[in-house]
Structure 1
Amino acid sequence: MRRVILITALLMITSLSTIPLVSSNPQTDGSTNTISASETWASDGPMDGDVIISNGATLTINGDITMADKSSILVEEGGTLDLNGKLIGENLNAALRVADESFISADFGSLSGQGQLIINFDQYVISEQFCNLTINGQTTDVSGQSKAEIDVTYNGSPINVTFEIFSFILPEISTIQSRDVNGQIQTILAQDINQTGSSIAWRGVPSFDVTVEGTMTSDGGEFQGANITCSGECTLQNSTLIGSAPINVENGTSLTAETSSIIGSRTDEDIVLHDSAVINYDTDTMTGTGGTTDAWIRLLSQRIIQTNLMDAGATVHYEGIGWNGDVGDNILDENGRVDIGGTEARRIVEWLDGNGVHGMEDSEVLITLNGGVTTWSEGYDVLIDPAPTTPYHQVSIKLPFVSIDSVVPEDTSGTANKGLGVMVTVSNTGEAPVKTNIRCYEGDDLADTTTLLVSLEVDETKKLPTTWWANASGSKALTCKALIPVGFNSLSDTLTSSSGATSSEISFKEAEDSEDAPLILYGALLVFILIGTALFTRRSAASVANIEQDTEEKEYDDEILDDLDEEVTEEQDSIDGESDESED
């Protein structure tokens, strides 16, 4: 039994001896150190250079490490960084971004007596706008000033300052100082100022880099002045980040943040989620920079919408895009695409603001293919509601496809310049209705046919009668095609067959005497008119002659009658005279 216990103890000792328990210190000479086995930094001290934690290795930091400028820690895939201590950048450059109605409390301990309160601005409001601050009921205009010096009386209590600001650019305070009657100065750095309604901003570049492609866990750790990029799995618990925001969480990776504080960001957000990055952010236990600085945002790398409209130049109208809810118009490029994320603000599609309120854009995009006034104007568009919140989105607009099924003449032969009946069969095999003109050709030349205009619903077929006038004799064929708007460019090939449909060969002959027939007709008509005119004239002349003869005869008879009347009268007078004489 004792032998078994002894053997077991020896095995345990042997197995424990194989675990590398290495305690070491970081390099200070600016070199590159690759950690390939587990290692612990337990003591406080400086670091200058680059550290690479390779696959399978773990670096545990329990001490407070002061990082030289431009130093870095890279956690490769499969590597692990455990931070329980601090990583402190040599140079921190913070500023307090002051908003309207914000409040700061400058605490200089037991300082008493007359003196001045000095507020140093890294960024200040231009004189055309205004920035007022009020202390103990006294208001001072500090617009256009990089430094404000105000007489105050110190009594061992904090000096409270309230800001009233009307400006597109918010002022930023680098330090607050006190000057007593002896000229002694105390300084409070921006990150140490007690404030409400303001936010910490970090000027310039970060002091050092931490890039995580593997795993990083900070439990009780602290970062000061770090540039953190998470391309693997990152966890913050009971941790503090001072001037180490934003944390960039790359596409396809994740960040868990709880029971931690983020104080100060170099941008307007503490955490940036790129594309489809995942975040587990406990709003109940997390404290962010606050104020105008968002807790986190989702930023898309691009906002490309790909359509099937190719280079047709369709219009794009969008509303409610991005953090500002932009409204605007655009057109598709030569590949049928549009990027609605032309600015960073338009690529921010989701956020948690400084007050812990979650927000998303309320947006839509309308893409329209514009045809003619009467043809190809059936509303070829698509409404994307809500707008895509992914870097790339593909959408298909329903379009018609006009098929010229057949061109069938009524006969196998015809006569030049004489109409020949033709039946054109047209179908719409696409996904949208269409109204289009049909053009017919003799070879490459436009044929002389009646106009063809057709409206087709989806899967509808129509027969269109037309008349073809061949302009010369010979063997000819008629080809009919749908007329597509010129502005549709290469999209036309997806809307109809460019070859259309062609009839069988028709033999046209010259019309025999066909050109003299009108002359003969006109000549016959002229002869008929002349003959008619002659007959009418002759009859008219004869009628006039008869009337004149009747008139002459009547006049002659009247003269005879008049003569007879005169003779009778004379004879009667003679008789009457003789009677009178006999009576006497």
Structure 2
Amino acid sequence: MRRVAVLQVLLMVSATMLCYLPAASADGAETVIGANVTWADDQTVEGTVRIVSGGHLTVNGADATVSDGSSIIVEEGGALTLNHAGLLADNPPTAIASMGYWDESNRSKFMVPGEGIEGAFEVTMMAMNDDSYFGDGAHIDGKVINLNGSSHTFSFEAEAGDVWIGLTGFSSTSVTVASITIEVENGGSTTILGTDLESVNMKTAGDPGFSIQVDGTLSSVDSTVSGGQMTIGGSMSADDSSFDRLGPVLLGSDATIDLRGVTAFSGSLDDHDVRGGPGSTIYWGDDVSGSGGLIDRWERRVSGQSIQLDAKYVILSVSGIGPSEAIQEIFSDENGTALVDGGRERVVEIGYSDGTVWTEAATIDVITYVTSWNPESSGIGNYGGGPMPLTWDQSIQLNSGTPNIEWESLEIVGDE
């Protein structure tokens, strides 16, 4: 009996050590969590942490620093809880990029902190790696400066103070700022990363550092997530939490995100903080704040949408497509399939940064739906019925008014 008891203790200790292993080794091995595990001390995550069904990892009052290229995967039935904790990229993105607008009211810009500098000074602006300023422009006090190469140096006279530099890209492309270096007359210099600059209508740019895939549940209370690309296929809730240089959070079609308290987003890597699908559930509390400016709170998108008909070459008019509320004529192919907006992904809902919400309200009109059963000479008119709403369903069946034709009996005539 004593040998059995000792063996049981050894097995329990081994299982506990396996579950509490804080990080995968540098060779890329996984840490698999299949029980209740708590990290109460600061951790470094390297490789993959996988929380399987029945597993629950709680980071409690500690920071978990995630190395580049690492990942955290929460499988269906698994759970990750951040409680007064931090989930931090070891190297979060530090560059910023313009939003592509040319008009002055929406133009992206950043401020050079020149107040307090004595004498003249120069500012060298550096693009992200592999980026070029070819064809881009800088706007200072109403003047346009043509840019080129991977850097540009501006010269300012004494007592210039704080200087705002607006940016416009070639053909509305983004202009990136990895850093600026301020050099003063006495030879001193200071380098400031892009994300540390005061800016307006600029988004974060660069590699997010790591990934988080949640098909189970993620709960965050008074915690911070910095960097990382987050994809939610299950559910995510956040209360009084901060998400810095993270967005957009990508939601699956049936995923849920519940944002409450004074939860805040900042420095999204796109023009929205959350991206949902047609069936995603998005709750944005009254005191929750987004990155602001031209960065929307959320977008909802639909892709690969089609209308199914019982005939080929049916011509339809679809009105009110996307934020521009465009009108398109489409037709069914040999299989009776008509692609909405060519099947491309489109935005069907926007939660703007000011709290207003735009929702697509597109309609389908039949222009020509003629078959052998309703030729123009028949006087029956087009099949398909009157105008109908374009829902967010992946496939829409347009069959109003079409005849229901079926065999009632089959009689063979003749000997053969």
Shorter chain as denominator, the TM-score bin is 0.7 to 0.9
Cα distance in 2 for partners of 1:42, 1:275 equals 38
Other-structure match for 2:11: none
Other-structure match for 1:277: 280
The structure 2 residue matched to 1:107, chosen from 107, 113, 134, is: 113
Map 1:83-98 → 2, pairs under 5 A: 83=82, 84-93=84-93, 94-98=95-99
Deviation at 1:220, TM superposition (A): 2.3
Q: Quick one: structure 1 residues 220 and 328, their matched pair in 2 at CA, closer, same or farther if it must change by over 3 Å? A: same
The structure 1 residue matched to 2:221, chosen from 193, 210, 219, is: 219
Deviation at 1:32, TM superposition (A): 0.7
Cα distance in 1 for partners of 2:399, 2:114 equals 66
Q: Quick one: structure 1 residues 377 and 148, their matched pair in 2 at CA, closer, same or farther if it must change by over 3 Å? A: farther
Deviation at 1:105, TM superposition (A): 2.3
Opposite residue 334 of structure 2, the aligned amino acid is E
1:133 aligns with 2:130: no
Opposite residue 322 of structure 1, the aligned amino acid is G
Deviation at 1:373, TM superposition (A): 5.2
List alignment gaps of at least 5 residues for structure 1: 1-19, 401-429, 431-493, 503-584
Q: Quick one: structure 1 residues 51 and 194, their matched pair in 2 at CA, closer, same or farther if it must change by over 3 Å? A: same
**Rg larger in structure:** 1
Opposite residue 327 of structure 2, the aligned amino acid is V
Deviation at 1:124, TM superposition (A): 6.4
Q: Quick one: structure 1 residues 158 and 344, their matched pair in 2 at CA, closer, same or farther if it must change by over 3 Å? A: farther
Cα distance in 2 for partners of 1:188, 1:174 equals 9
What TM-score, normalized to structure 1?
0.58
Cα distance in 2 for partners of 1:143, 1:382 equals 57
Report Cα offsets for 1:386-437 as digits up to 9, x if no partner. Answer: 312222222313145xxxxxxxxxxxxxxxxxxxxxxxxxxxxx7xxxxxxx
1:245 alignment partner, SS class: coil
Other-structure match for 1:189: 193
Q: Quick one: structure 1 residues 316 and 144, their matched pair in 2 at CA, closer, same or farther if it must change by over 3 Å? A: farther
Other-structure match for 2:6: none
Mapped contact 2:304–2:343 kept (Cα < 8 A):
no
What TM-score, normalized to structure 2?
0.79
Deviation at 1:323, TM superposition (A): 3.1
Other-structure match for 1:63: 62
Deviation at 1:166, TM superposition (A): 8.7
Report Cα offsets for 1:426-464 as digits up to 9, x if no partner. Answer: xxxx7xxxxxxxxxxxxxxxxxxxxxxxxxxxxxxxxxx
Q: Quick one: structure 1 residues 380 and 51, their matched pair in 2 at CA, closer, same or farther if it must change by over 3 Å? A: same
Deviation at 1:146, TM superposition (A): 4.2
Mapped contact 2:167–2:175 kept (Cα < 8 A):
no
After superposition, the CA RMSD in angstroms is 3.3
Other-structure match for 1:395: 398
Deviation at 1:120, TM superposition (A): 2.7
Mapped contact 1:199–1:290 kept (Cα < 8 A):
no
2:178 alignment partner, SS class: strand
Report Cα offsets for 1:128-173 as digits up to 9, x if no partner. Answer: xx73411xx4734235564332212466954333557894324232
Q: Quick one: structure 1 residues 227 and 159, their matched pair in 2 at CA, closer, same or farther if it must change by over 3 Å? A: same
Opposite residue 133 of structure 1, the aligned amino acid is H
Mapped contact 1:199–1:289 kept (Cα < 8 A):
no
Deviation at 1:343, TM superposition (A): 5.2
Q: Quick one: structure 1 residues 328 and 181, their matched pair in 2 at CA, closer, same or farther if it must change by over 3 Å? A: same
Mapped contact 2:97–2:177 kept (Cα < 8 A):
yes
Other-structure match for 1:326: 326
Report Cα offsets for 1:289-333 as digits up to 9, x if no partner. Answer: 3343322111124312223x2x43211221221233232222112
Cα distance in 2 for partners of 1:357, 1:144 equals 39
Mapped contact 1:24–1:42 kept (Cα < 8 A):
no
Mapped contact 2:76–2:215 kept (Cα < 8 A):
yes
Q: How many residues were matched structurally?
A: 380
Opposite residue 239 of structure 1, the aligned amino acid is S
1:382 alignment partner, SS class: coil
Other-structure match for 2:50: 52
Other-structure match for 2:377: 374
Cα distance in 2 for partners of 1:155, 1:66 equals 42
Cα distance in 2 for partners of 1:366, 1:183 equals 70
Map 1:522-561 → 2, pairs under 5 A: none
Other-structure match for 1:357: 356
Opposite residue 171 of structure 1, the aligned amino acid is V
Opposite residue 112 of structure 1, the aligned amino acid is E
Cα distance in 1 for partners of 2:142, 2:291 equals 29
Q: Quick one: structure 1 residues 325 and 139, their matched pair in 2 at CA, closer, same or farther if it must change by over 3 Å? A: same
Mapped contact 1:52–1:75 kept (Cα < 8 A):
yes
2:195 alignment partner, SS class: helix
Report Cα offsets for 1:551-574 as digits up to 9, x if no partner. Answer: xxxxxxxxxxxxxxxxxxxxxxxx
Cα distance in 1 for partners of 2:276, 2:339 equals 20
Larger relative helix fraction: 1
Cα distance in 2 for partners of 1:190, 1:320 equals 39
Q: Quick one: structure 1 residues 356 and 153, their matched pair in 2 at CA, closer, same or farther if it must change by over 3 Å? A: farther
Map 1:123-272 → 2, pairs under 5 A: 127=135, 131-134=137-140, 137=141, 139-144=143-148, 146-153=150-157, 158-162=162-166, 167-196=171-200, 198-203=201-206, 205-258=207-260, 259-272=262-275
Q: Quick one: structure 1 residues 496 and 125, their matched pair in 2 at CA, closer, same or farther if it must change by over 3 Å? A: farther
Opposite residue 161 of structure 1, the aligned amino acid is I
Cα distance in 1 for partners of 2:66, 2:353 equals 29
**Percent of aligned pairs with the same residue?**
23
Other-structure match for 1:317: 317
Mapped contact 1:50–1:71 kept (Cα < 8 A):
yes
Cα distance in 2 for partners of 1:388, 1:177 equals 52
Other-structure match for 1:444: none
